[in-house]
Structure 1
Amino acid sequence: MIAFNTAAAGALNATRMFDRAATKVAQSAGSDMSTLLGAVVVQSEARTAFAANLAVMKTAEEMTGRLLDLKI
C-alpha cells in the first residue's frame, strides 16, 4: 500500500501543479509570451506526472489483488 499512497500523493501534487500553471495561463493573457509558454509547459509536465502516478496506482492495486489471490 505504500506505493499506492505515494502515487496518490504524487497525483495530488501534479493536480496542484497543473492548477497553478492554469492560473498563470489565465493571468498572463495579453502579457509576456514566454510566461505563457512556460505555464503551458508546466501544464504538460503536470499531465504527464499525473498519468504516471495513476499508472503506479493501478499497478499497485493489481499487485495487491494478486497477492490476496495467492493467500486464498
Structure 2
Amino acid sequence: MLALNTAIGGLMSAQARFDKSAVKTVQDIAQGKDVVSDFVDQIQARTAFEANISVIKTVNEVTGRLLDMKA
C-alpha cells in the first residue's frame, strides 16, 4: 500500500501546485504580465495529477486480482 500512499500524496501536491499557479495567473493577468509559464505549470500539474490517478487505479486493480486469487 506504499504506492497508494505515495499516489495520494502526489495528488495533493499536484492539486496544490495547480491552485497556486491559478492564483498566480489571475494576479499576472491583472498586472499585465505574460501568463504562458503559468499555463505550462498548470498543464504539468494536471499531468502529474492524472499520473497519480493512474497509479491509484493500478493499485486497485492489482489488489482486486490478489483478492480473487485468494478466493
TM-score, normalised to structure 1, is 0.91
TM-score, normalised to structure 2, is 0.93
* Superposed displacement of residue 32, structure 1: 1.8
After TM superposition, where is structure 1 displaced by more than 2 Å over at least 4 residues in a row?
Answer: none
Structure 2 stretches lacking a partner, 5+ long: none
1:51 matched to which residue of 2? 50
Distance 2:59 2:19 in 1: 26
Deviates more, 1:12-21 or 1:23-32: 23-32
Paired AA for residue 4 in structure 1? L
Percent of aligned pairs sharing the same letter? 46
Distance 1:4 1:66 in 2: 16
* Superposed displacement of residue 31, structure 1: 1.9
Aligned length: 70
The two structures, once aligned, show a CA RMSD in angstroms of 0.9
* Superposed displacement of residue 64, structure 1: 0.6
Indicate the SS of the match to 1:31. coil
